[in-house]
Chain A
Amino acid sequence: DQQVKQNSPSLSVQEGRISILNCDYTNSMFDYFLWYKKYPAEGPTFLISISSIKDKNEDGRFTVFLNKSAKHLSLHIVPSQPGDSAVYFCAANGYGGATNKLIFGTGTLLAVQP
């Protein structure tokens, strides 16, 4: 049973436009959510996180939105750059971020076209 779902395997956007990556979860006990970026042949790199007590967290070009009632979160990248092209993983746990035992989604491949 996939507790964290990323239903879009891939996304293509033009440079300078907004990229929106979506993630849904089923476990209501999850209270901490993270986004990781992964380039080929490298390990995942932490991008941004959000606690369930918030509905938005922003870091530069990256903003994560959390809708707890819908069990949905999204990552917005504005403006998108070609270097953002990578696989993006959504992850979650129910420990308030106190541990990194994470449940990952299957990833979305983002391609930013110059």
Chain B
Amino acid sequence: DTGVSQNPRHKITKRGQNVTFRCDPISEHNRLYWYRQTLGQGPEFLTYFQNEAQLEKSRLLSDRFSAERPKGSFSTLEIQRTEQGDSAMYLCASSAVLGTEAFFGQGTRLTVV
């Protein structure tokens, strides 16, 4: 499978715990995006990387959120001290630098109880 892969698919955590999600983009894609989708809403942009450089962060990404893309390959999104409001689907997408189409993974559904 050469698509965007996200792990885990589902995560249930207790409030206050830290969680980390992983995204493996399509191998030749330089750009990697994180989005968050809550019920009844469209995906909301969180951050994106070109290779290992994090080029932009949304103001939705509070200090409890951090994303990394070491070596410009896979990426991780960590949420510290989770809150119930963090419950959402976290989507990763990748694209070529000159590509106008982003390919999305299946997402990680986070439930904070």
Binding site for B on A (CB under 8 A): 4, 32, 34, 36, 41-46, 49, 89, 91, 97-107
B31 at the interface (CB under 8 A from A): yes
Given contacts A101-B33, A101-B45, A103-B45, contact A43 B40 (CB under 8 A): no
Given contacts A89-B43, A106-B40, contact A100 B91 (CB under 8 A): no
B61 at the interface (CB under 8 A from A): no
Asked if B104 contacts A43 (CB within 8 A), the reply is: yes
The residue in chain A whose Cβ has the minimal distance to the Cβ of B109 is: A41
- Distance A98 CA – B99 CA, assembled complex (angstroms): 7
B62 at the interface (CB under 8 A from A): no
We find that the number of chain B residues with CB closer than 8 angstroms to chain A is 24
The distance from the CB of B28 to the nearest CB of chain A, in whole angstroms, is 15
Residues of A with C-beta under 8 A to B101: 34, 46, 49, 100
| A-B pairs with lowest CB-CB distance, top 8 | A104-B42, A43-B104, A100-B102, A97-B100, A46-B101, A44-B104, A104-B43, A100-B95
Main secondary structure of the interface of B (DSSP, over half): loop
Binding site for A on B (CB under 8 A): 4, 31, 33, 40-45, 48, 56, 91, 93, 95, 98-107
Asked if B42 contacts A99 (CB within 8 A), the reply is: no
The distance from the CB of B72 to the nearest CB of chain A, in whole angstroms, is 17
Asked if A43 contacts B45 (CB within 8 A), the reply is: no
Listed by A's residue number, 12 A-B pairs whose Cβ atoms lie within 8 Å are A36-B104, A43-B105, A45-B104, A46-B101, A46-B103, A98-B98, A100-B101, A101-B33, A105-B42, A106-B40, A106-B42, A107-B41
Residues of A with C-beta under 8 A to B41: 106-107
Asked if B45 contacts A41 (CB within 8 A), the reply is: no
Asked if B48 contacts A101 (CB within 8 A), the reply is: yes
